[in-house]
């Protein structure tokens, strides 16, 4: 099987996770608000094992979906609805809204 750019990215984002989780004593919780078709904050520093709760304050449906397949995806959130994802990667994960793809933000995990 040829090594594609996607498989290289997947390998680099996944490999350090076990070691990072083993050395981290306590996970932190973070929140991202989705309001006026934007993620607030637009960039956030996290660590493996942390959780991030996304809450949609808009009337429109939104998602928070990693640009790289399978890293995380809240699914569609209605107004007032939240979804929590657990950080299972290191590096920077760009994400976007599947319904409004111009909505973009990132999580950086170290
Ligand atoms: Cu949206």
Taking the centre of ligand 1 as the mean of its atom positions, its distance from the CA of residue 85, in whole angstroms, is 17
Nearest to 11 by CA among 102, 106, 76, 90: 90
CATH class of 5-109: mainly beta
Q: What pLDDT score was predicted for residue 68?
A: 95
CA of 87 to the centre of ligand 1 (A): 21
Span from the CA of 105 to the centroid of ligand 1 (angstroms):
12
Q: What are the boundaries of each domain within the chain? A: 5-109
**pLDDT tens sequence across 83-100:** 999 999 999 999 999 999
Cα of 21 to ligand 1 centre, how many Å? 31
Residue 37 Cα, ligand 1 centroid: separation in angstroms?
Answer: 6
- Dump pLDDT digits (tens) for 30-58: 999 999 999 999 999 999 999 999 999 99
In order, the DSSP letters of 50-87 are: -EEEEEE-SSS-B--EESSTTS-B---B-TT-EEEEE-
CA of 99 to the centre of ligand 1 (A): 5
Angle formed at CA 59 by CA 106 and CA 77, multiple of 5 degrees: 50
For the chain, the straight-line distance linking the first and the last C-alpha, in angstroms and rounded, comes to 30
């Amino acid at each position: 099987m040829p090594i594609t750019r996607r498989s290289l990215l997947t390998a680099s984002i996944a490999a350090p996770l076990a070691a990072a989780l083993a050395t981290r004593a306590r996970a932190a919780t973070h929140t991202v608000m989705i309001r006026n078709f934007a993620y607030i904050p637009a960039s956030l520093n996290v660590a493996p094992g942390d959780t991030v709760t996304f809450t949609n304050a808009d009337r429109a449906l939104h998602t928070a979906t990693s640009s790289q397949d399978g890293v995380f995806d809240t699914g569609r959130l209605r107004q007032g609805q939240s979804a929590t994802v657990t950080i299972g990667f290191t590096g920077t994960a760009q994400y976007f809204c599947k319904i409004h793809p111009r909505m973009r933000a990132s999580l950086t995990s170290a």
